[in-house]
Amino acid sequence: MAGKLFVISGPSGAGKGSIVEKLMAKDDKLYFSISATTRPKRDYETDGREYFFVSREEFLDRIEKGKMLEWAEYAGNYYGTPAGPVDEKLNAGCDVILDVESHGMYSVKALRPDAVTMFVYPPSFAELERRLRKRNTETEERIQSRLKQSRLECAHAQDYDYIIINDDLELAAEEARAIMTAEKCRTAERLHILKEDKTL
Amino acid sequence: MAGKLFVISGPSGAGKGSIVEKLMAKDDKLYFSISATTRPKRDYETDGREYFFVSREEFLDRIEKGKMLEWAEYAGNYYGTPAGPVDEKLNAGCDVILDVESHGMYSVKALRPDAVTMFVYPPSFAELERRLRKRNTETEERIQSRLKQSRLECAHAQDYDYIIINDDLELAAEEARAIMTAEKCRTAERLHILKEDKTL
């Protein structure tokens, strides 16, 4: 039985990363997809841990051959999700979760219509602003730009299958876990098992 | 925010009743719908606990006025789900679960297309037979008839939204709970909240 593909998105500060961490901690058959990038590796990074580091030629070749589930260019570098490792894990029966922005979700959903998509919403934009300011590492201009970006990103929530409002991290992670469990109980998934089992 | 309507079905011996009990024990905002019937009340029964006991005239009148979500006749008596108490609970923000057979599910789904339907499957028919025999209260003929009935009922599983295979009661109840949680995270449900909340 192949695994299921999940997509999680949400603006910076909504707590997507913490939810994924909680999911991974309780599910050793869940694989978190690692992106590929053409940007140079930094000293503290390891190939295949933070990113798969590939050359520009290799990346463009993968795009052309349809080997990327989604990709984008930022500041002259390419970033994206290679299909290979995702399919490998799915075929081995693991679930896979992709942390991508909304444009990435649209691309994944177009290529893999059975992917289940979740959008993590902040409890409020006031709280999101508070969280961004708490990091205390950015200029006012940068914070305003991030908030604007967050509002734009949240406008895509309506195109996702599920919305998780991250007011309380434990509850939000529980909701994400429930969504993953429920999706595996869907009749289309289970009929397959029933048909394979000769005793049923 | 109104509650959600859930339907649970499954053959006798699949463990539907035990799953519902576990759900109710952990969720005090879940209402288990009580059926109405025209059969006479037995001494140990209380009106509104086991059933709502109503006259034949009353029952037929309710059917005619569209006040029954589903109904059927067995051995000369009518049984069914009155819409009134269900809607009252839903409007009060409680979730409602209906334990009905497949014909009842079709009727509920036709009247309430947003109802979420779950079918409880036995782990195998051999196990179902073992469970039915364990009760040790029935003739061989009656057991065979029940098994045949169970197989027929299971053929409807494909028309449900979700299938729960009750191999382990705790896991099965957890799946049912996850389905209920996930359904409340669906975008169509949550967008409603986001639109009402002016801070989002």
Neighbours of B88 (CB within 10 A): 12
**pLDDT tens per residue across span A124-165:** 888 888 888 887 778 899 889 989 999 999 999 999 999 999
Nearest C-alpha neighbor of A120 from the set A1, A4, A22: A22
Residues of A in contact with B26 (CB under 8 A): none
Answer whether A193 sits within 8 Å of B165, measured CB to CB.
yes
Answer whether A162 sits within 8 Å of B193, measured CB to CB.
no
Quote the percentage of chain A above a pLDDT of 90.
Answer: 78
Q: Is the pLDDT assigned to residue A197 strictly greater than 80? A: no
Neighbours of B103 (CB within 10 A): 14
Q: What is the mean pLDDT of chain B?
A: 93
**pLDDT tens per residue across span A12-62:** 889 999 999 999 999 999 999 999 999 999 999 999 999 999 999 999 999
Mean pLDDT score, A6-11? 96
**What domains lie within chain A, and their CATH numbers?**
5-196 (3.40.50.300)
Residues of B in contact with A191 (CB under 8 A): 157-158, 163
* pTM score of the predicted model: 0.91
Nearest C-alpha neighbor of B174 from the set B30, B33, B19, B27: B19
Instruction: Report the pLDDT value the prediction gives residue B196, as an integer from 0 to 100.
Output: 63
Reduced to 3 states (helix: H, G, I; strand: E, B; else coil), residue A143 is helix
Query: What are residue B196's phi and psi, to 5 degrees?
Result: -75, -30
Residue A196's pLDDT band (cuts 50, 70, 90):
low
Answer whether B182 sits within 8 Å of A160, measured CB to CB.
no
Query: Which residue among B162, B165, B199 places its CB closest to the CB of A126?
Result: B199
Instruction: Report the pLDDT value the prediction gives residue B18, as an integer from 0 to 100.
Output: 95
Nearest C-alpha neighbor of A86 from the set A128, A157, A38, A34: A34
Reduced to 3 states (helix: H, G, I; strand: E, B; else coil), residue B117 is strand
Question: β-strand B30-32 against B162-165: which pairing, if any?
Answer: unpaired
Instruction: Report the pLDDT value the prediction gives residue A10, as an integer from 0 to 100.
Output: 95
